Amino acid sequence: MRKTVRHLADGREIIYFDETPAERNAVDTRDLPPVAATSEIRRDPLTGEWVAMAAHRQTRTYKPPADLCPLCPSKPGKPSEIPDADYDVVVFENRFPSFSQGVVGEESTVDGLGLVPAAPGRGRCEVVCFTSEHNGSFSGLSPRKVRTVVDAWADRTEFLSGLDGVEQVFPFENRGEEIGVTLHHPHGQIYAYPFVTPKTSRMIEVARAYEAEHGRPVLGDVLAAERKVGTRVIAEGEHWTAFVPPAARWPVQVQVVPHRQVPDIPALTDAERDDFAEVYLQVLKRCDALYGRPLPYIAGWHQAPVNQDRDLGWLHLELFSVLRSKDKLKYLAGSESGMAVWINDATPEQIAERLRGS
């Protein structure tokens, strides 16, 4: 794989990941204003969780027509975010970031009262374009292309983890309008947070308590149990197993877990990266066949925090969908949204059986 770093008209980085050597000398000819991110984070005094405020994102691109897609390669008279006429995998800094290294300000408290801590939303947000094909999908990629994407995720995780103030790196893909996608070109994002996210904090807390009691990683024991019983397993390779979690919250939910404990994507071996591509493509094809239509989903990597508790993390990918039947959505109503108590309309065993049969 060949990596090439260039810059867009407003100074943002763009990084090409090519499967074969390619010259990347195209110039971004657009007249773009400088990126003006004004992100702030505030900590909720009742939960201790950080919330990001990014009002500048109200003006971000919203459902453009296909011929004006900003993620397609540039064409004569139609420049896009990617100056070149074609690409394999490309990553660039988000023009409307939730977190940015360029945010100015100091740590303070809201209204100066000392009750609600506030700080600049320093971090970084990147867009990952999986393919130059506008009407493609991740499930339609070749194993080789998926491997290129994995290598790009690893590269960006390593880079972003080294940025000042970054505490966690989260690569993810949103797919489908039901999820809230406003750009249909196959792509994902990477958030470099200035704090450890609430979900990861809770998982680390549970992992610490479990290891103190049992002397083993909790996800390792879950993985061993799922492989032994097999009831919820939907795909398996030499280095990865994909299964519906035994306490699944969503109508469709799959965890893809490596057989070896590693903290993050950069720690994966070549063999593990290749095997992930094969297993994950099986998962995606089963998901798309479930209702006979492209499944809207969120897929995200759970990686260990950058600067703490790395020995307690166990890398894994989680995919879930709000679609509970071909034309019905699961809405997060009172119990889920109000109290974070989930009620699933199907058992994990039923979900797994449907996916295996699709």
Question: Could you tell me which residues are annotated as the binding site for Zn(2+)?
Answer: 69, 72, 134, 185
Active site residue 184: no
The H or E element that residue 302 is part of is: strand 297-302
Total length of the chain? 358
| CA distance to 143, 301, 341, per residue, from 338 (Å) | 41, 26, 8
Coil, strand or helix at 83: coil
Rounded to whole angstroms, the Cα distance separating 333 from 348 reads 21
Structural contact between residues 241 and 259, judged by C-beta atoms closer than 8 angstroms: yes
Residue 4's DSSP bridge partners are: 16
Rounded to whole angstroms, the Cα distance separating 253 from 247 reads 10
Pair of tokens at residue 298? 């969120």
DSSP string, 214-269: HSS-HHHHHHHHHHHH-TTEEEE-SSEEEE--TT--SSEEEEEEESS--SSGGG--
- What is the gyration radius of the CA atoms in the chain, in angstroms? 21
Coil, strand or helix at 187: strand
Which one is catalytic: 187, 239, 302, 316? 187
Rounded to whole angstroms, the Cα distance separating 265 from 18 reads 19
Structural contact between residues 320 and 332, judged by C-beta atoms closer than 8 angstroms: no
Rounded to whole angstroms, the Cα distance separating 137 from 29 reads 29
Q: Binding site, residues?
A: 69, 72, 134, 185
Beta strand pairing status for 297-302 and 252-258? unpaired
Q: What are the catalytic residues?
A: 187
